[in-house]
Amino acid sequence: MDDRFKGRSIRQSFDWKLVGIYLALVVIGWLNIYAAVHSSEPSSIFDFSLNCGKQFVWICTALVLAALILFVIPPRLWESTSVLLYCLVIVLLVAVIFLGVDIKGSRSWFAIGPVRFQPAEISKITTSLLLANILSKPNFRITRMKDFLLAAAVIAVPMLIIVAEKETGSALVYVGFIFMLYREGLSGWFLAAIGLAILTFILTLTASAYTSILVIIAIVSLVVYLDRGKFLRWLCTFGIYVFIMAMLPGWWAALLERLVPGASLIGQADPWVEQAILSSSKWAPLARVNLLYVLLATALPAIPFFLIRSYRERNSFMGMAVPTLIAGVLLVFSTEYIFNDILQDHQRNRIEVLLGLKEDPSGAGYNVNQSMIAIGSGGLTGKGYLHGTQTTYGFVPEQSTDFIFCTVGEEWGFVGCFVVILLYVLLIWGIIVDAEHSRQHFTRIYGYCLASCLFMHLFINIGMTIGLMPVIGIPLPLMSYGGSSLWTFTIMIFIFLVLDHEEKKYF
């Protein structure tokens, strides 16, 4: 029965499907937290001295919050107060650096009595709201530099403050907003550039700067030629060049070894031996040649070539290739610096362990090793609820918070993991579909922000437990123990639901 004035009722126009998934995940999380704290001395799931009992309280309060958002707070308020809320949270984010308590080296928690909360979590809500507000303005064009910078600043400000709080993991989630920006018209090359940057970083650390720069040259030139539909010409020019340069180190080493016996030892032997090798042949100075500079020098002529061609053909895409190349080379050279000087010791360790540069089963590798053992031992159907040995004896650290997925993996097996991941995919999928159907830009953009955050948490957290990502301490949304995280995602999801409902009421 449509009511012309009140609109459709909540029963008709509300996305109950999403609420169902939400509740399912929360309950699954709670049951698994109980399994995680469960030990050989059984206790009740409502034991308030344990994480599972406390989580029950968090769940109840989260549901009250959800009800408030649905029935009490006027939905229009979110858009109109977004600037205010954003500023307020920024103040909190800065304040926590000075007033917060130190937990495992990061200053990002406020402690009020027994309750602790993390402004970095709430900041996801306010940043999403403000982004939705700004991007939905009629004259906003993401392709315009000024507008793009504004949006970037809204994301970067809380992100940088959170980095300053030494919560790099939480800050990483903000990178996810790029997916929302992409949906709103940001060039896809942006995503590609970020992907290339990550590839460069990893290649430089695992292989060498030489390989890394060669790969950049190959990819960038290939893309430029493909854009003009001239793959064959690329093969004849850059293809050959890349092939030669790829083989060069091997050839060079063989040649040197023939001219200067023992040349391969240079840089590894002790100075005295090195001197002896160098003075043994008139070709010795060749051994000092650094191939990296040869590569850079031979690649250099390509730069004016690209610039002139792009100018002649008015092809700005080709013009962009030059700064991309230069940025790539700079990134390669700064990688060592970033890696050794900007990252903190434990972060460096985690990346090294992930990339297999270092084996460390007792230190940084311990968590991942234990977590993979727990998950891997689950098999197809798991060991059964409360029967996980790894989980029961507490081998996996942080098991009810960041490593909650281990419990699922061990006790419910691949089937359980599949169901949980499926639920998350359905949740994100549902949010995106609802967002796409929305006529309100604000609702759509906000929906994408929410989907991006959920996606980043999902990928980073589960990726970490199965050794695909370095150990980055962020919770699994709705499932991990912790009030801040549960509240944040509850609020975010229900704001979206109420916005969505508000709109469907009348259309």
Separation between Cα atoms, residue 453 and residue 460, nearest integer Å: 11
Q: Which is nearer to another protein, 86 or 489 (CB)?
A: 489
End-to-end CA distance of the chain: 14
- Residue recorded with tokens 């989260």: 62
Write the CA distances from 450 to 231, 340, 401, integer angstroms. Answer: 40, 34, 21
Q: Does 41 bind another protein (CB under 8 A)?
A: yes
Q: Near another protein by CB under 8 A, which window of 6-14, 74-82, 128-136, 375-383? A: 375-383
Nearest distance in Å: CB 448, another protein: 8
Q: Among 195, 285, 376, 397, which residue interacts with another protein (rule: CB under 8 A)?
A: 376
Separation between Cα atoms, residue 297 and residue 299, nearest integer Å: 5
Q: Among 216, 375, 406, 493, which residue interacts with another protein (rule: CB under 8 A)?
A: 375
* CA angle 480–481–487, rounded 5-degree value: 90
Q: Near another protein by CB under 8 A, which window of 70-78, 95-103, 305-313, 370-378? A: 370-378
- For residue 462, give the H/E element and its range: helix 441-465
Site for another protein in 397-416 (CB under 8 A): 409-410, 413-414
Separation between Cα atoms, residue 488 and residue 126, nearest integer Å: 10
Nearest distance in Å: CB 390, another protein: 6
Q: Which is nearer to another protein, 92 or 353 (CB)?
A: 353
Nearest distance in Å: CB 499, another protein: 18
Nearest distance in Å: CB 305, another protein: 31
Separation between Cα atoms, residue 326 and residue 121, nearest integer Å: 36
Beta bridge partners of 101: 109
Q: Name 316's Cβ contacts closer than 8 Å, sequence gap at least 6.
A: 310
Nearest distance in Å: CB 249, another protein: 31
Nearest distance in Å: CB 189, another protein: 13
Q: Near another protein by CB under 8 A, which window of 280-288, 311-319, 325-333, 419-427? A: 419-427
Nearest distance in Å: CB 396, another protein: 10
Q: Does 251 bind another protein (CB under 8 A)?
A: no
Dihedral sign, CA of 489, 495, 498, 502? negative
Q: Among 142, 394, 440, 502, which residue interacts with another protein (rule: CB under 8 A)?
A: 394
Q: Which is nearer to another protein, 165 or 410 (CB)?
A: 410
Site for another protein in 451-480 (CB under 8 A): 455, 459, 462-463, 466-468
Contact 86, 134 (CB under 8 A): no
What does the block give as tokens for 181? 């920006």
Q: Which is nearer to another protein, 322 or 492 (CB)?
A: 492
Q: Does 424 bind another protein (CB under 8 A)?
A: yes
Q: Which is nearer to another protein, 228 or 346 (CB)?
A: 346
Q: Which is nearer to another protein, 121 or 434 (CB)?
A: 434
Size of the residue set binding another protein (CB under 8 A): 45
Q: Does 176 bind another protein (CB under 8 A)?
A: no
Alpha-carbon dihedral angle through residues 249, 252, 257, 258, given to the nearest 10 degrees:
150
Q: Name 188's Cβ contacts closer than 8 Å, sequence gap at least 6.
A: 182
Separation between Cα atoms, residue 437 and residue 431, nearest integer Å: 10
Q: Does 199 bind another protein (CB under 8 A)?
A: no
**Residue type for 73, please?**
I
Contact 166, 105 (CB under 8 A): yes
Site for another protein in 425-444 (CB under 8 A): 425, 428-429, 432, 436
Q: Among 196, 353, 368, 374, which residue interacts with another protein (rule: CB under 8 A)?
A: 374
Contact 35, 459 (CB under 8 A): no
User: Quick one: three-class SS letters along 80-118?
Assistant: HCHHHHHHHHHHHHHHHHHHCEEECCEEEEEEECCEEEC
Closest CA to 420 of 29, 8, 31, 50: 29
Show the site string, 178-197: x = touches another protein by CB under 8 A, - = not.
Answer: -x--xx--------------
- DSSP annotation of 476: P
Please report, as ranges, the residues that interact with another protein according to CB under 8 A.
39-41, 179, 182-183, 359, 361-362, 370, 372-380, 389-390, 393-395, 409-410, 413-414, 417-418, 421-422, 424-425, 428-429, 432, 436, 455, 459, 462-463, 466-468
